[in-house]
């Protein structure tokens, strides 16, 4: 879509667009180009010169068992975060949608956690499951279960998943609730006249009508789990134990800033750029498709 009526001149619009362009070039394009460039080199041990290695960093990464493990970890982590945040949200939204009165109050109560930063959510959950002072881990101990996410990789993963999914429930709830409110009453009532009970109506009518929202939330939650959960992992496990919670973004950070392995970190950035690019394409294909609904 284009405007029919426009203003003349080219100096003014260039001036108007300049701030955004300059910031994009300086803080987006140049660093991204830098990442691609650096990914082709390895620094010598003293950091004095760079040696060109072509795609060597990539070859090394793809054959590195820690990096491949990190891919698998990221996949499991984002799948679990997505499921653990979408299913409870859908359940709560269905309940809220059934209420004629009072759903606004519940909505206000439920949007709270959205405002809590992932890093703070990490601290709250760490506190509950802390091996020394945590309330939940203490009660688990009383029940005979020895909780220790510092040593047990599975428990560490469970904890970062729940802490990451927690705040997302609010977000998903809002979208599901809005979509449910938009389902035409007449369709539901027609099914009710035909004798379809609540759950049958839900599976055969409501859920298919929610599919655009569900798909949208799937993509958005995966993007969230990939990129925005750094704070949760950094506060709770710092990637451990034995890298069981080291997702890709965390590895870029720990190899680049902690390990000072710039070539490898840059190559990982490039791979991530590629992943983001694919996710963005999926997202936009989907939005294009939505227009035809």
Partner 1 sequence: MARDVHGMVEKRGAGLWLTHVFMILGVLVIFFPIWLAFVASTVSQPEIVSPPMPIWPGDQFWENYSKALFSGVNVPVTTMLFNSMVMAIGIAVGKIIISLLSAFAIVYFRFPGRNVFFWMIFITLMLPVEVRIVPTFEVVAGFGMLNSYGGLILPLIASATATFLFRQFFLTIPDELAEAARVDGARPMRFFWDIVVPMSRTNVAALFVILFIYGWNQYLWPLLITTDPEMNTIVMGIKQMFPSGDDVADWPVIMATSILAMIPPVIVVVSMQRLFIRGLVDSEK
Which of 46, 47, 72, 108 touches partner 1 by CB under 8 A? Answer: 108
Q: Is residue 259 near partner 1 by the rule CB under 8 A?
A: no
**Distance between CA 234 and CA 245 in Å, rounded?**
10
- Given its phi and psi angles, is residue 102 left (phi above 0), alpha (psi -120 to 50 degrees) or beta? left
Q: Is residue 19 near partner 1 by the rule CB under 8 A?
A: yes
Which DSSP state fits 42?
E
50: which strand partners?
43
Tell the smallest beta-carbon distance from residue 247 to partner 1 (Å). 10
Q: With both helix axes pointing from N to C terminus, report the angle between 262-290 and 30-38 in degrees, rounded to the nearest 10.
A: 130
User: Which of positions 164-203 make contact with partner 1 (CB under 8 A)?
Assistant: 166, 169-171, 174-175, 178, 185, 188-189, 192-193, 198
**Distance between CA 37 and CA 54 in Å, rounded?**
10
Which of 55, 62, 87, 133 touches partner 1 by CB under 8 A? Answer: 133
Which of 71, 220, 241, 254 touches partner 1 by CB under 8 A? Answer: 220
Which of 200, 273, 285, 289 touches partner 1 by CB under 8 A? Answer: 273
Tell the smallest beta-carbon distance from residue 190 to partner 1 (Å). 9
Q: Is residue 269 near partner 1 by the rule CB under 8 A?
A: yes
**Distance between CA 227 and CA 72 in Å, rounded?**
15
Q: Is residue 119 near partner 1 by the rule CB under 8 A?
A: yes
Which of 51, 98, 200, 285 touches partner 1 by CB under 8 A? Answer: 98
Which of 86, 121, 157, 161 touches partner 1 by CB under 8 A? Answer: 121
Interacting residues of 96 by C-beta distance below 8 A, sequence separation 6+:
103, 106, 107, 173, 177
Q: ∠13-16-19 over CA atoms, to 5°? A: 140
Which of 215, 227, 243, 254 touches partner 1 by CB under 8 A? Answer: 227
Q: How many residues bind partner 1 (CB under 8 A)?
A: 101
Contact 226, 78 (CB under 8 A): yes
Which of 45, 47, 49, 132 touches partner 1 by CB under 8 A? Answer: 132
Among 131, 133, 126, 119, smallest CA distance to 234 is for: 119
**Distance between CA 265 and CA 248 in Å, rounded?**
10
Q: Is residue 239 near partner 1 by the rule CB under 8 A?
A: no
Tell the smallest beta-carbon distance from residue 19 to partner 1 (Å). 5
Q: Is residue 55 near partner 1 by the rule CB under 8 A?
A: no
């Amino acid at each position: 879509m284009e405007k029919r009526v426009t203003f003349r001149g080219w100096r003014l619009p260039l001036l108007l667009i300049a701030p955004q362009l300059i910031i994009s070039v300086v803080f987006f394009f140049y660093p991204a180009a830098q990442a691609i460039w650096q990914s082709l080199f390895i620094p010598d041990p003293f950091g004095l010169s760079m040696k060109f290695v072509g795609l060597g960093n990539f070859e090394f990464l793809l054959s590195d068992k820690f990096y491949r493990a990190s891919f698998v970890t990221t996949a499991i982590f984002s799948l679990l975060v997505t499921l653990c945040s979408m299913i409870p949200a859908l359940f709560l939204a269905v309940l809220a949608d059934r209420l004629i009165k009072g759903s606004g109050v519940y909505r206000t109560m439920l949007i709270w956690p959205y405002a809590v930063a992932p890093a703070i959510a990490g601290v709250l959950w760490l506190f509950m499951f802390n091996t020394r002072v945590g309330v939940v881990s203490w009660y688990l101990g009383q029940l005979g279960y020895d909780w220790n996410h510092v040593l047990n990789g599975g428990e560490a993963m469970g904890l970062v998943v729940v802490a990451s999914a927690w705040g997302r429930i609010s977000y998903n709830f809002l979208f599901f609730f809005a979509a449910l409110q938009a389902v035409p009453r007449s369709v539901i009532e027609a099914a009710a006249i035909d004798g379809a009970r609540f759950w049958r109506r839900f599976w055969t009518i409501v859920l298919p009508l929610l599919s655009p929202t569900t798909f949208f939330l799937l993509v958005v939650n995966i993007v969230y789990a990939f990129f925005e959960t750094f704070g949760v992992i950094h506060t709770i496990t710092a990637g451990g134990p034995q890298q069981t919670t080291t997702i890709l973004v965390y590895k870029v950070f720990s190899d680049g800033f902690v390990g000072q392995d710039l070539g490898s970190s840059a190559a990982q950035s490039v791979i991530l750029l590629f992943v983001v690019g694919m996710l963005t394409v999926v997202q936009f294909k989907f939005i294009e498709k939505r227009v035809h609904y």
